[in-house]
Structure 1
Amino acid sequence: MADLITLTLLRHGITKANQDKRYLGWTDVPLVPEEVERLSAAQGFGEQFDLCITSDLLRSCQTAGLLCPKLERIEIKEFREMHFGAWEMKTYEDLKRNVGYRSWIDAPESTVPPGGESFQEMQQRINAGFQQLRQEVCRRQSKNILLVAHGGVIRYLLMKLSEEEKSFFNWKVSHDAGVRLTWKIDDWKEARKCISLQEVLLTAKGNG
């Protein structure tokens, strides 16, 4: 069997802002207490990894720490969620009468939140973060990597790394399961797309 490398993409645990359906980008908020409990009970999930990388925001760092308490964690700020600018921490109800917001909803790739970042800027930032991840994997000779990040980051990476033809918003990213991407080692080294995708539930242990 060919030597393989896996990268599991996992969205951070739930925050109060997530529960309230707010646009949560760079605002640094913690997980709700019940999420801390849930993730603490799923520590077996983290035992399958030899490297854990997170964004530098608290909700991702907390999630990674709860799932992988014995594993060194590397923070890469380029894996932050999109910067929503003036719309940060607002809800749809707050913004639905805002003309600029309506334009952004209709054409998100060509409209920029006031004081925020464009989709293109976010993608360039994530690409830079992924290069850092690749360097860490090479330096440590890791084979099973966990990346704890944010919904927008994971959707973009799935677009970038998978052969499945789905648009950004058609990728479904939950708080309850990760997505494991698998490569043959040579394909990974050549920066080719992954050979398979698999949903991994937080209750999974080891390679299950």
Structure 2
Amino acid sequence: MILKSPSLAHVLIIRPGSTEFDDQQRIKGSLDMPLSVHGEQQVDRMARELADVHIDVVYCAPDESARQSAQRLAKGRETRVKVVDAFRNVDHGLWHGKLIDEVRRNHPRIYRQGIDSPEDVCPPEGEPIHEARERVTKSLKKCLRRHRDRVIAIVAADPMAAVLDSLISGKELHDLWASELDDGSWNLIDRQQ
């Protein structure tokens, strides 16, 4: 499914800087953690890379690393930061805190499913990816409608960032595990019609 927004030109999807769990390759999911020192450096690098981009508004997930990243990116700009609860990361249930490698070793079938068809993955006592996609769709549409013909940024951790990217670009989700390690990065989705 691709979201239709007839005149929106550009959306920046920004992955927050890393936390201690990210640095250790642990599954953070919906845990609320601050940026690590490395994460702060990543956000400062992204702020320099995006310094010449006029961003109308920065929407962010409610977790601490996303809020810290959004505030650092907005610093020195005339840009508002708005927290959107629906952009909170996927609840990984009993996987919170586990090493990704532990899931690979102990649950090889589920690990493989996360590569081949991530929308079907449901962590034990967690949130299925397809439900997270449904949860975020309405709020995303609202954000896109409000800022036609402008550049907006959305700061959210993966895999939520990958879900948002997929909804906006129309691309399929791929490799849940690779996206778990994709912190401190950004991509621009060009929506010119």
Normalising to structure 1: TM-score of the pair? 0.72
Match of 2:127 among 117, 123, 137: 117
**Unmatched 5+ stretches in structure 2:** 1-6
Give deviations 1:51-94, integer Å, cap 9, x for gaps: 11111111111011111124211111211221100111111344
Alignment of 1:27 with 2:31, yes or no, is yes
1:86 corresponds to which of 84, 94, 97? 94
Determine the C-alpha separation between the residues in 2 that align with 1:10 and 1:26. Answer: 17
Tell me whether 1:147 sits opposite 2:138 in the alignment. no
Question: What percent of counterpart residues are identical?
Answer: 19
**Count of aligned residue pairs for this structure pair:** 177
SS in 2 for 1:31: coil
Contact 1:155–1:169 (CA under 8 A) maintained in structure 2:
no
Paired letter, 1:74? K
Give the stretch that moved more between structures: 35-44 or 75-84.
35-44
User: Shift of residue 176 of structure 1?
Assistant: 4.6
- With normalisation by structure 2, the TM-score equals 0.77
Q: Quick one: distance in 2 between partners of 1:91 and 1:111?
A: 17
The letter for the 1-side match of 2:57 is L
Hey, which of these two has a bigger chunk of strand by percent? 1
Give yes or no for contact 2:10–2:190 (8 Å, CA) kept in 1.
yes
Change (3 A) 1:6 1:57: same
- Retained in 1: the 8 A contact 2:10–2:152? yes
Gaps spanning 5+ residues in structure 1: where?
188-208
Q: Which residue of 2 aligns with 1:178?
A: 186
Give distance in 1, aligned partners of 2:113 and 2:177: 17
Q: Residue 66 of structure 2 aligns with which residue?
A: 60
Partner of 1:194: none
The secondary structure found in structure 2 opposite 1:116 is: coil
Asked which structure has the greater RCO (Cα within 8 Å, sep 6+), the reply is: 2
Structure 1, residues 100-149: CA drift from partner, whole Å, max 9, x if none?
Answer: x4342233444421210112111111212312312432xxx560111111
Partner Cα distance (2:73, 2:90) in 1? 24
Task: Point out the structure with max Rg over C-alpha.
Answer: 1
Give the structure 1 partner of residue 166 of structure 2: 159
